[in-house]
Amino acid sequence: MIKANYHTHTYRCGHAVGEDEDYIREALAIGLQEIGFTDHIMLPYHSQPGIRGDYSVLDDYVKSLRELKEKYKDRIKIHIGFEAEAMKEYFPYYKKLLDDGVVEYIICGNHCEVKDDHLKFFFSSVTTKDDIIRYTNSLVAGMKTGLFKFVAHPDYYMGSYFKWDEVAKSCARKIISTAKKYDIPLEFNFGSVRRGMQILGDEYRFAYPYDKFWEMVKKYNCKVLIGLDAHAPTDLSNPNNDAGYKKAKELGLELLQKLEF
């Protein structure tokens, strides 16, 4: 059981449920010492209803969490952040949010990209070699900026790319070696774990974490932390999380218990 979770969403993204305080109460109930909120980042020039909150709700997000941070300061550490894509168009915006102290940290969850002035090409549905190379190159460029505290579900592409071929291995190696070089933790994400194992290609497995990716992570001795990727308060205590803890143990991963802020 972990003592801190730094990947937590709120209802503002449109696909999560529960009030902000409900997550904190649940975290306290299961003995967490720290909780970090990382809702999908609100963007000033692009709208994605049902995927991320409109830019107009950013102030409410920060205000609510700051109030709860003060209210619960003697019981649990609360950190305020965002989950954001490695989109170079928005790197200056991310930097300003951090420099101005609007949020404490940003994690890199590479879900989509800007293309033809629209947010599209969802990496959750990559199926070709060119697709996963685009995902990888974008993610690696993001890691090199120093803007991101850790990488969320770095093996995300294996949820739809069903071959552990030379290209998949090469992409994994590039992501992992960059994380090692820049000392960026990689997140062993439980979001897909809670959905259970399924037949993907010729394998019966989780969409992610993907075993062979994490076997490579272990060889590189990268920093690893568990992320519950909570979209409901009960995700923090969901019994299906046990399969994720078991998988991390089977893989022999040494896990960070807390991050430094």
Report pLDDT digits (tens) over 201-231.
999 999 999 999 999 999 999 999 999 999 9
pTM of this structure = 0.96
Q: Are 20 and 10 in contact (CB under 8 A)?
A: yes
Residue 110 half-sphere exposure toward CB, CA atoms < 13 A: 31
Decide if pLDDT at 123 tops 90.
no
What backbone torsions phi and psi does residue 246 show, to the nearest 5 degrees?
-65, -40
Mean pLDDT over the full length of the chain? 96
Tens of pLDDT, residue by residue over 20-65, are 999 999 999 999 999 999 999 999 989 899 999 999 999 999 999 9
**DSSP-derived 3-state class of residue 44:** coil
**pLDDT per position as a tens digit, 65-110:** 999 999 999 999 999 999 999 999 999 999 999 999 999 999 999 9
Domains of the chain, CATH where assigned = 4-250 (3.20.20.140)
pLDDT of amino acid 118 = 78
* φ, ψ (nearest 5 deg) of residue 7: -135, 90
Q: How many CB atoms lie within 10 A of CB 203?
A: 16
| pLDDT of 121 over the 70 cut | no
Q: What are the DSSP calls for 61-127, one per residue?
A: HHHHHHHHHHHTTTT-EEEEEEEE---GGGHHHHHHHHHTTS-SEEEE----EEETTEEE--GGG--
* pLDDT above 90 for 115: no
Measure CA 163 to chain center.
23
Task: Check whether 114 has a pLDDT greater than 90.
Answer: no
The residue type found at 97 is L
